Structure 1
């Protein structure tokens, strides 16, 4: 269920000059903010939670997920080049799972790794805060990649809708409106962080068992439906 050729083409598309620049900017901003905060206020667990939870997990991770998830397939569908993949003797679920794997890997590298580094910069991983948020970023990366990959298969405006979701729902509504938090990937990931670093001041409105189930459901359902939508794309001349 993994094709190296599809993976190579997807990596090349995601790490092209323009997308790679955008992918690098957000982690660099996080590290710069973390260094500045550490120099100004010193090691402070509460401040580390604010930076890692309030900016990194709520804004940076979903934005990277949008770039990687939609970019893994959306442009190929938009410009019609997806037909070259569909013309090959590849099962369409294999194409989706390969692209999802690549999107997850890219999102993890550009979110979880910088998150871990930023956590060590902010407070030296006091109370396992850096590790906890890195774990949360890994879990969120999987769910976001599946969600935005699906969006890339169903809409030509996937990036726009993805940005609206990331900036309005996850970063704003999901952080501030209590009732909406239970439907936020961010809150589900925070449940894992809370379990990883108990007593570190990390809280989630969703319990860990429910969060784990919802993360799995979104990932599996997103990948399944994306594969189903890809099956409906037909080549010229197909019956």
Structure 2
């Protein structure tokens, strides 16, 4: 289910010059803001939770997911080079699964790790806030990678669609509109953060058992549909 050659080519594409600017720039922004906040405000648990929840989990993680998820396969479909990949003796599910693993690894590395470091900068992991939000960023990275990988297979405007979802649904509605929170990857991941953090340090509108089921369901469903779409592309090319 994992092909090293496909993984190497995908990593090379994701870490190219244009995408690398975003992948490194967003974590750098988070760390820079964290240093400034720590200097100006000091070690405050409420402020740390606000920065990690608002800037890291609600904004940075989905944006990096967009870059990694859509970039894992979208450009190859857009420019037609996916035909060369599909012509190789590699099973279609293996291609999708390998690209998903790469997208998850990149998203976790550029979102969960900086979130953990930012948490230690902000309040030294008081009340387990840094670890809680880092764990939330990691599980959210899995779901985001699968969703945006699917978008990369179904539309040529995957980046635009992903940005609308990340910035409008997750960052705006997922944070402000009560009814939309239960359908937000952000809130599902916050359920895990709530369990890890000290009592009252993190809150979520979704219970942990339901959140884990939804995260797993979305990840599996998105991966399956992406595989189906890739198989249909193969058939169309053969015809």
**Bucket of the pairwise TM-score, normalised by the shorter protein:** over 0.9
Residue in 2 that maps onto 1:68: 68
Structure 2 unaligned runs (5+)?
Answer: none
Q: Is the 8 A contact 1:45 1:200 kept in 2?
A: no
Deviation at 1:235, TM superposition (A): 6.5
Helix, strand or coil for the counterpart of 1:202?
coil
Deviation at 1:215, TM superposition (A): 0.2
Aligned mates of 2:42, 2:237 — CA distance in 1: 65
Deviation at 1:154, TM superposition (A): 0.2
Aligned mates of 1:237, 1:152 — CA distance in 2: 18
Query: How many matched pairs?
Result: 239
Residue in 2 that maps onto 1:201: 201
Aligned mates of 1:180, 1:8 — CA distance in 2: 38
Residue in 2 that maps onto 1:3: 3
Residue in 2 that maps onto 1:138: 138
Aligned mates of 1:135, 1:114 — CA distance in 2: 12
- Normalised by the size of structure 2, how large is the TM-score? 0.98
- Are 2:21 and 1:21 equivalent residues in the alignment? yes
Deviation at 1:185, TM superposition (A): 0.2
Helix, strand or coil for the counterpart of 1:94?
helix
Residue in 2 that maps onto 1:59: 59
Aligned mates of 1:183, 1:192 — CA distance in 2: 15
Kindly report the root-mean-square deviation, in angstroms, between the aligned alpha carbons of the 2 structures.
1.0
Deviation at 1:199, TM superposition (A): 1.4
Residue in 1 that maps onto 2:31: 31
- Are 2:49 and 1:49 equivalent residues in the alignment? yes
Q: Is the 8 A contact 1:59 1:167 kept in 2?
A: yes
Structure 1 unaligned runs (5+)?
Answer: none
Aligned mates of 1:155, 1:148 — CA distance in 2: 11
User: Residues 146-225 of structure 1: matches in 2 within 5 Å?
Assistant: 146-225=146-225
Q: Is the 8 A contact 2:188 2:214 kept in 1?
A: yes
- Normalised by the size of structure 1, how large is the TM-score? 0.98
Aligned mates of 2:188, 2:14 — CA distance in 1: 26
Aligned mates of 1:55, 1:24 — CA distance in 2: 15
Label 1:236 to 1:129 Cα distance change in 2 as closer, same or farther (>3 A): closer
Aligned mates of 2:237, 2:68 — CA distance in 1: 32
Aligned mates of 1:201, 1:20 — CA distance in 2: 33
